[in-house]
């Protein structure tokens, strides 16, 4: 069984202690990132994308990597695709602020850094002006033969 990384939130000898799995922080960061306008989607690893193809539901922590250093500081890497036409530095800054504020609000933790990695830009799907059944713009064959 793999060892799961946890963070100690509170330690009280009489009442016990509270530990939170890093995956919980990943999920919070993923949901916060999806709320930012201009983010097309989170960009996961090849394994995470393969799971989606095989029918697994959308993973909220896909594209998020949380690390804790020896001093207990959190650093989060966010991998995203953005929409075409957005100002990338503004979207990246909005992601950083959103992730930090949501984790602070929900977990009362301060995040040292949020590094945003823009992997791709997705353009809007355009409508085709060409009818695939009538590629050359010809009239119906029946009307030509009449």
pLDDT digits (tens, 9 = 90+) for 70-118: 888 899 999 999 999 999 999 999 999 999 999 999 998 889 999 999 9
Radius of gyration of the CA atoms of the chain, in A:
23
For residues 61 and 25, which has the higher predicted lDDT (pLDDT)? 25
pLDDT of residue 76: 95
Give the predicted TM-score (pTM) of the model.
0.73
- What does the mean pLDDT of the chain come to? 81
pLDDT at 45 over 80: no
Q: What is the mean pLDDT of residues 119-134?
A: 76
pLDDT of residue 1: 39
pLDDT of residue 140: 56
Q: How many CA atoms lie within 13 A of 33 on its CB side?
A: 32
30, 48 contact by CB (below 8 A): no
Residue 28's closest CA among 61, 63, 65? 61
77, 33 contact by CB (below 8 A): no
Q: What is the mean pLDDT of residues 19-24?
A: 88
pLDDT of residue 15: 76
State the pLDDT confidence band at 56, using cuts at 50, 70 and 90.
Answer: low
Q: What is the mean pLDDT of residues 29-33?
A: 94
Q: What is the mean pLDDT of residues 119-137?
A: 75
């Amino acid at each position: 069984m793999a060892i799961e990384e946890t963070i100690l939130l509170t330690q009280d000898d009489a009442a016990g202690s509270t530990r939170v799995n890093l995956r919980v922080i990943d999920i919070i960061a993923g949901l916060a990132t999806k709320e930012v306008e201009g983010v097309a989607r989170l960009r996961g690893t090849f394994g995470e994308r393969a799971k989606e193809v095989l029918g697994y539901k959308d993973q909220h922590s896909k594209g998020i990597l949380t690390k804790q250093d020896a001093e207990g500081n959190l650093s989060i890497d966010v991998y995203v695709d953005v929409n075409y036409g957005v100002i990338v530095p503004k979207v990246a800054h909005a992601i950083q602020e959103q992730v930090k504020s949501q984790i602070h609000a929900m977990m009362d933790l301060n995040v040292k850094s949020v590094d945003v990695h823009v992997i791709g830009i997705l353009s809007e799907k355009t409508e085709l002006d060409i009818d695939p059944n009538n590629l050359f713009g010809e009239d119906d064959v029946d009307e030509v033969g009449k």
